[in-house]
Every structure is written in C-alpha cells, then in structure tokens.
C-alpha cells in the first residue's frame, strides 16, 4: 500500500482488496488479501459468517453495551458493571454521621438570589458567632531536607514548585510534631498520586515497621506507587470512599496494632469531616468496645513515642494523656469549605451551641468561597503564563486554579452592596467558624488541636493546616 494511501484505521474501512474482518483485539481490519469477489480472506470467511448469524443483546447489568446472547452467562461473570464483593473494611456509611432530615430545609435559595435583608441577617449571625475567635493564624511555613533536591530542580514548572513547597511544609510540620518515627502507620486520605506519603517515606529513611495506607475513592493516573523500593516500608492503596472506611478491619492495623498518623494534602470539603470521624470515632474508639482487645502498649524506650508527648506546642499549655491513643496525630491541609455537608460535618454541636443550624451552615459554607474566588479570578486573569497539561494534572488538584468553583463562587454573582474586601473577610470568617467546630470536636475527644498557615497565599490560597495530637481534654474556656 502506498505511503500516501489512507490507512484502514483512519477511514474506518478495509484497504482495497484486503479482508473486511475487523480484528477487535488489534483494533484494525485484517490485512490479508481477499479473493476476487470475496469480502473476507480464507482465514476469516467462516468466522465472519458465524459471527453475523449470532444475535447481540443489551447487557442486563449495563444497557450501554451489548453482548452475544450465547455468551451472556460468561459475560455476566466478568462484566465491569457487575456488583463486586465489598472488602472487609467496607461498612456502609460508618463515617457519614447521623442523618436528620428534619434539619435540612426543603428549598435552599442560591446566595445570589437571597433578598438583601435576609443576607444581612446571615452576616450578623456570622459576626456574632465569630466573636472572640482569633482570625489571625500563626505562620508555620516550614520545609524539610527530604525535598531539597526536588525543590531545586530547574525543570520544575510553576505549578509543580507550588505543590512541592506545600508538601515540604506539611512534612516539616509532621516532623515538628514528632510524628516521624518507626512502628506506625501513615494513612493518607484523598491520596491522589500518593506524593505526600512518598515524601514521608523518603524522610523516614531506614525507620522500621512503617506502613502507608493510601485512601482514594477513584482510580488515579500517574501514581508514584511504583517508586517505592524500601524494604522497611509497606504501601497499600485502598480504592474506597472515606465515608465507608473502617480502619479497624484493615489487616495490618488489626494485626500489628500500630498507632496511626492521619495525613492529607488539600482534603476537600466534607472529606475532612469523614476522615476525622474515621480516625477519632471508628479507629480511635476501639479501646472502648468490649469485644476489642486493648491496644498495644507504648514502647517506653522508643524515643519517637517519647517525643510525641513533648510536642504540646499545638494549641497551648497542657499534657498529653497518660493513656496511649491509637491515633498518634493528625496533620491535614484543609480546602474547599464550600463542599462541606451538614450531615457529615463533625462540628454540629458547636454550631447548635451558637444558635446555628443546617440552614446557616449551608449558607456559610457557600459564603466561604468569597475568601478566595475573587483573588483566584484576578490571579488567573493577570497570569500571562499558559498552564501546561502537566501543571493541571499535578496531583489531580484544581483547588487553586478555580477548578472547583460553583455558580456561587464566581465574583460576578456576589452581592453588590458589599465591598470586595468585606466579602473576602466574611468568607474567611465562614472558613474559620467551620474549622473551629472541627477543633472543638477533636478537643472534646481528647486531642489538642490547632490551625496554622502552612503556605504563603502566593503558593496556595487554601493554606490552612489542621493539626492534632492526643492530649487531656482542655478546659471549657480554653481556646485552640
């Protein structure tokens, strides 16, 4: 065939004089010569006639595709749409929280459609509920030697550099809290490509008995899982929604009784609440269950575990609880508060104590986007550097590029009677109020929790880090 002639793949038809049988496995037509006046070559003549005589029907599991009727039984056993057996660690809605339909309003009007008077009432409630909260977070922008070479790679694009700076700061905060050490399990929620766990593994060097569990509900491309070659570290990836994850039933945790460190980079909206409940209630409460054996005792001579008690800098004075907690610590970068959900939210009691409920929570979580949407839009419009495919796919995150903006996140739909600076301030108050409910939730369950800025706004607009260590419950009048 001449080089200029169209290929069968390009035209959708076999080349002239060639067999008309389509080889599905090779995704092309057969290239053998057909006899004069014949459509198929000798090899495929019988098969084609037999195939044309067979009847195709819709798959009963998924009508979007068809199957040969005489092959239906075989197809149903391997169809991708079949219901697959659930793993032992899957328990339906175990971390979802209680569902109270009576609290959810039937109709929720978009913020852009709210009357000005009603919006003013919401703003007054927000300001009153936020009284006494420290809106100026402490800077904990850190780095770690494990990422030194990667950060100084001249081939990095702007987006890659920003992600590396965030990972370095999160890793630096993990180290500051004395959570890097042997004999523990790091659970990365919303793991994506798994880069945060990768850098934690690099930082741990030759630490023994270190396990990593990477939790992600969707299949992820360009994972870094294949780069892990250390003998002392074990990586396990779980494709499951955090809402249904029971850590107690993961074999390595039930067998080894390892203390868990929950980590996450840009744990989006309700996923933060699901992860906190998964750690604190599902896994952390196992000591209180009568049918569970006591958790493993602390190794008194283990320097890393001793240092855990010395890391009381998170949230003021106090002492770590004498009784060892199966959750050694939590370090999670927060984002996308506008994707929170009242049912999953762990700070309901905090809201109710301030006379707020599901209605206010709904509007506050929508208003939280005011903190960043205007600055995102300005940054995108001012940027003259085109985003590359690699930049956009970095860790699969679009948090700082506006990829998660809903109809009420765009600056053009915000109420016009408020100045831009005031809208941004109110958005940050909404974020702070939602996060304060999470802090109180952790404190009531014996953790010392705090919020801090872990990145410069130029690196990420979603730059708040939630940290928690096991500790005695703080006094009721204490602030995080």
Instruction: Summarize pLDDT for 141-198 with one digit per residue, the tens.
Output: 999 999 999 999 999 999 999 999 999 999 999 999 999 999 999 999 999 999 999 9
* Predicted model pTM: 0.74
Rounded Cα distance between 41 and 278, Å, is 61
Q: Which residue segment(s) compose the domain that 423 sits in?
A: 114-286+325-373+419-470
Q: What is the pLDDT of residues 1-43, one digit of tens each?
A: 444 444 444 447 788 889 988 888 888 899 999 888 888 887 7
The answer to whether residue 70 scores a pLDDT higher than 70 is yes
Three-state secondary-structure class, residue 138? strand
Taking the CB of residue 220, how many other CB atoms lie within 10 A of it?
18
The answer to whether residue 445 scores a pLDDT higher than 60 is yes
Rounded Cα distance between 15 and 6, Å, is 8
Answer whether residue 250 is part of any domain: yes
Q: How confident is the model at residue 312 (pLDDT cuts 50, 70, 90)?
A: very low
Q: How confident is the model at residue 85 (pLDDT cuts 50, 70, 90)?
A: confident
Rounded Cα distance between 99 and 275, Å, is 17
Q: How confident is the model at residue 386 (pLDDT cuts 50, 70, 90)?
A: very low
Whether 143 contacts 172, CB under 8 Å: yes
Answer whether residue 302 is part of any domain: no
The answer to whether residue 102 scores a pLDDT higher than 70 is no
Taking the CB of residue 242, how many other CB atoms lie within 10 A of it?
28
- Rank 214-228, 334-348, 376-390, 410-424 by mean pLDDT and report only the highest: 334-348
| Helix (DSSP H) and strand (DSSP E) numbers for the chain | 15, 12
Q: What is the pLDDT of residue 106?
A: 65
Q: What is the pLDDT of residue 50?
A: 60
Residue 84 DSSP symbol: P
Whether 163 contacts 395, CB under 8 Å: yes
Rounded Cα distance between 396 and 306, Å, is 37
The answer to whether residue 265 scores a pLDDT higher than 70 is yes
**Choice between 113 and 129, residue whose per-residue pLDDT is larger:** 129
61-65, 234-238, 386-390, 438-442: lowest mean pLDDT where? 386-390
Alpha carbon distance, N-terminus to C-terminus of the chain: 76
Q: What is the pLDDT of residues 387-444, one digit of tens each?
A: 443 443 444 444 544 444 444 444 344 456 688 899 999 999 999 999 999 999 999 9
Answer whether residue 75 is part of any domain: no
Residue 89 DSSP symbol: T
Q: Which candidate, 157, 182, 166, 300, places its Cα nearest to that of 232?
A: 182
Which single residue is written with the structure tokens 């706004």?
457
Taking the CB of residue 300, how many other CB atoms lie within 10 A of it?
7
Rounded Cα distance between 108 and 122, Å, is 14
Rounded Cα distance between 225 and 318, Å, is 39
Residue 69 DSSP symbol: G
Q: What is the pLDDT of residue 443?
A: 94
Answer whether residue 7 is part of any domain: no
Three-state secondary-structure class, residue 124? helix
Q: Which candidate, 296, 242, 309, places its Cα nearest to that of 272?
A: 242
Supply the CATH number for residue 136's domain: 3.40.50.150
Q: How confident is the model at residue 374 (pLDDT cuts 50, 70, 90)?
A: low
The answer to whether residue 316 scores a pLDDT higher than 60 is no
Answer whether residue 149 is part of any domain: yes
Residue 87 DSSP symbol: P
Three-state secondary-structure class, residue 452? strand
Rounded Cα distance between 428 and 364, Å, is 10
* Count of the separate structural domains present in the chain: 1
Answer whether residue 258 is part of any domain: yes
Average pLDDT over all residues of the chain: 80
Average pLDDT over residues 310-330: 53
Strand locations in 285-423, DSSP E? 327-335
The string of DSSP letters for 174-241 reads HHHTT---SSEEEEEET-TT-HHHHHHHHHHTT-SSEEEEEEESS--SS-SGGG---TTEEEEEEES-
Answer whether residue 94 is part of any domain: no
Which single residue is written with the structure tokens 């892990």?
228
Answer whether residue 334 is part of any domain: yes
Average pLDDT over residues 363-390: 64
């Amino acid at each position: 065939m001449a080089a200029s002639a169209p290929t069968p793949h390009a035209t959708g038809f076999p080349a002239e004089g060639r067999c008309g049988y389509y080889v599905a496995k090779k995704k092309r037509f057969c290239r053998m010569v057909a006899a004069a006046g014949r459509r198929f070559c000798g090899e495929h003549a019988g098969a084609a006639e037999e195939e044309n005589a067979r009847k195709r029907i819709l798959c009963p599991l998924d009508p979007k595709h068809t199957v040969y009727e005489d092959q239906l039984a075989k197809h149903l056993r391997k169809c991708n749409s079949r219901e697959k057996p659930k793993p032992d660690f899957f328990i339906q809605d175990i971390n979802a929280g209680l569902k109270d339909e009576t609290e959810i309003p039937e109709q929720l009007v978009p913020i852009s459609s709210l009357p000005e008077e009603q919006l003013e009432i919401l703003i007054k409630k927000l300001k009153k509920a936020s009284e006494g909260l420290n809106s100026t977070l402490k800077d904990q922008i850190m780095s770690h030697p494990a990422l030194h070479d990667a950060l100084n790679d001249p081939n990095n694009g702007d987006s890659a550099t920003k992600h590396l700076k965030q990972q370095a700061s999160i890793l630096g905060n993990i180290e500051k809290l004395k959570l890097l050490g042997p004999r523990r399990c790091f659970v990365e929620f919303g793991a994506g490509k798994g880069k945060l766990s990768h850098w934690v593994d690099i930082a741990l060097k030759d630490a023994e008995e270190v396990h990593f569990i990477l939790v992600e509900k969707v299949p992820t491309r360009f994972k870094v899982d294949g780069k892990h070659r250390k003998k002392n570290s074990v990586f396990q990836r779980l494709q499951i929604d955090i809402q249904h994850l029971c850590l107690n039933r993961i074999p390595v945790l039930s067998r080894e009784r390892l203390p868990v460190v929950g980590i996450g980079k840009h744990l989006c909206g309700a996923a933060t609440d699901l992860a906190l409940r998964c750690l604190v209630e599902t896994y952390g409460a196992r000591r209180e269950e009568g049918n569970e054996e006591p958790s493993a005792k602390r190794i008194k001579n283990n320097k890393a575990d001793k240092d855990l008690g010395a890391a009381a800098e998170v949230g003021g004075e106090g002492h770590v609880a004498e009784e060892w907690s199966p959750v050694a610590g939590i370090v999670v970068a927060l984002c996308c508060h506008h994707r929170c959900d009242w049912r999953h939210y762990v700070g309901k009691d905090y809201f109710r104590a301030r006379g707020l409920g599901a209605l206010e929570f709904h509007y506050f979580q929508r208003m939280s986007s005011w903190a960043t949407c205007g600055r995102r839009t300005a940054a995108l419009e001012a940027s003259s550097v085109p985003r590359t495919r690699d930049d956009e796919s970095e860790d699969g995150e679009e948090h700082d590029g506006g990829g998660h903006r809903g109809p009420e996140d765009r600056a053009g739909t915000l109420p016009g009677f408020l100045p831009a600076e005031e809208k941004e301030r109110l958005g940050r108050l909404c974020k702070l109020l939602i996060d304060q409910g999470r802090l109180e939730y952790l404190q009531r369950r014996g953790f010392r929790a705090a919020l801090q800025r872990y990145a410069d706004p130029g690196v990420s607009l979603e730059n708040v880090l939630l940290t928690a260590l096991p500790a005695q419950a703080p006094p009721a009048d204490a602030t995080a």
